[in-house]
Amino acid sequence: MRTESLDFLKSLCNTPSPSGYEERIAKVYADYTKTFADKVETDRHGNTTAILNPDAEQKIMLAGHMDEIGFQVSYIEDEGFLRFRGIGGHDMSIPLGQRVFIHTDNGPIPGIIGRKPIHLLESTERDKTTPLHDMFIDIGAKKRDEIENEIMIGDPITYQWEFEMLRNNRATARGFDNRVGSFAVAEALRLLKESGSLDSGVGVYAVATVQEEIGLRGARTAAHRIGAQSGLAVDVDFAIDHPGVSKSRYGKCDLGGGPSVTRGANINPVVFRTIMQASKEDEIPVQVSAEPGGTGTDANAMQVAGDAMATGLVGIPLRYMHTPVELLSLDDVENCAKLMAGYCKRVKPETTFIPGT
């Protein structure tokens, strides 16, 4: 991966962006895409869109959500402990014992998530996961008065984990889900710009959407506002290649095997065929995955917003989803951006996306 791109990916992953708190990461996205897009804009919801050919009538929306799961401060105890609530779907075996940052207006404050030690647990408590309301954050404060001018109710919280390279061009980060998707749509736009391969009658809207983790909310408003005829959502997908998961049950999806391409009711057949054509002709490996109903991704919101956008869904294989140590292959990330660019350059001003054509 070229250095500027890798720096951009690191920067996205290391910027806190729990759902509803995407202002900072939106700026990272806008600053990068500004260097090659014709136009970059942020809407009232916070979705940030980089555009090529903004005057074209045929429009393609590329969506990668830039929010991550996280927490927020809900109450400060007299003794200075913070109570907190989850933002998005957490694996409850993870929070305990983690280091966190509370992101205040004046910068991050470090803390840890605690509860009573194992020796003091009742026998009935030992085999159960601890609910969030029995945990608290300790920042070393002695009493509420000491911190209530620094920490505000509602301040977002993230784990301290950040981007790190591993072996074989694989990397780990907190919240690759789905800052890596925002990265992929930005890179697809850059590839289109640099190759000059996009039809001048086709506009591409690369959107870093907000609030996916709490109900696909940003993609819905962005899809309505842009009114594109077709669109691709990109999200992380479950890699089925480590102990404890079964290909027979969930299908094949290997890290490094290429982006997944979903097929089923959420996917317009013309869009699916165009993605597969791009894969074949541009020699990009893909892994087809079956999803009989609406998917739990932005593609679902996009398809049913307004008058039925023709949607496709591509996925970046990822291990350990919704933990602070999500792991993926940068080869898949680059191939995913190429695949989306390959789709866009095959769309023509006259393409209708009507099934059967």
Q: Which residues are catalytic?
A: 212
Euclidean distance between CA atoms 11 and 173, whole angstroms: 11
- At residue 185, what are phi and psi to the nearest 5 degrees? -70, -35
298 binds Zn ion (CB under 5 A): no
Q: From the centroid of its chain, how far is CA 248?
A: 27
Nearer to Zn ion, 15 or 53 (CB): 15
Nearer to Zn ion, 177 or 332 (CB): 177
The one-letter code for the residue type at 261 is V
Closest residue to Zn ion in the complex (CB): 177
Least gap, CB of 125 to Zn ion (angstroms): 29
Sequence-distant (≥ 6) Cβ neighbours of residue 10 within 8 angstroms: 163
Token pair 């780990």 is found at 172
Least gap, CB of 158 to Zn ion (angstroms): 14
Residue pair 237/316 in contact by the 8 Å Cβ criterion: yes
Shortest CA distance to 224 belongs to which of 20, 67, 21, 45? 45
177 binds Zn ion (CB under 5 A): yes
Residue pair 206/226 in contact by the 8 Å Cβ criterion: no
Using the rule CB under 5 A, give the single segment among 169-177, 226-234, 247-255, 258-266 that binds Zn ion: 169-177
Q: From the centroid of its chain, how far is CA 326?
A: 12
For residue 122, count other CB atoms closer than 10 A to its CB.
Answer: 8
Nearer to Zn ion, 53 or 262 (CB): 262
Using the rule CB under 5 A, give the single segment among 36-44, 174-182, 184-192, 242-250 that binds Zn ion: 174-182
Nearer to Zn ion, 40 or 210 (CB): 210
Least gap, CB of 313 to Zn ion (angstroms): 14
Nearer to Zn ion, 58 or 209 (CB): 209
Euclidean distance between CA atoms 38 and 193, whole angstroms: 9
Instruction: Using DSSP bridges, classify how beta strands 310-318 and 260-263 pair: parallel, antiparallel or unpaired.
Output: antiparallel
Nearer to Zn ion, 9 or 141 (CB): 9
Rounded to 5, what percent of the chain is helix, strand, coil? 30, 25, 45
Distances in Å between the Cα of 41 and the Cα atoms of 8, 28, 217, 236 are: 19, 13, 18, 25
Would you state the structure tokens that stand for residue 335, as one six-digit string?
A: 């191939």
Using the rule CB under 5 A, give the single segment among 1-9, 76-84, 91-99, 176-184 that binds Zn ion: 176-184
Least gap, CB of 322 to Zn ion (angstroms): 6
67 binds Zn ion (CB under 5 A): no
How many binding residues for Zn ion (CB under 5 A)? 1
Least gap, CB of 89 to Zn ion (angstroms): 7
Using the rule CB under 5 A, give the single segment among 177-185, 252-260, 295-303, 342-350 that binds Zn ion: 177-185
Least gap, CB of 173 to Zn ion (angstroms): 13
Residues near Zn ion, by CB under 5 A = 177
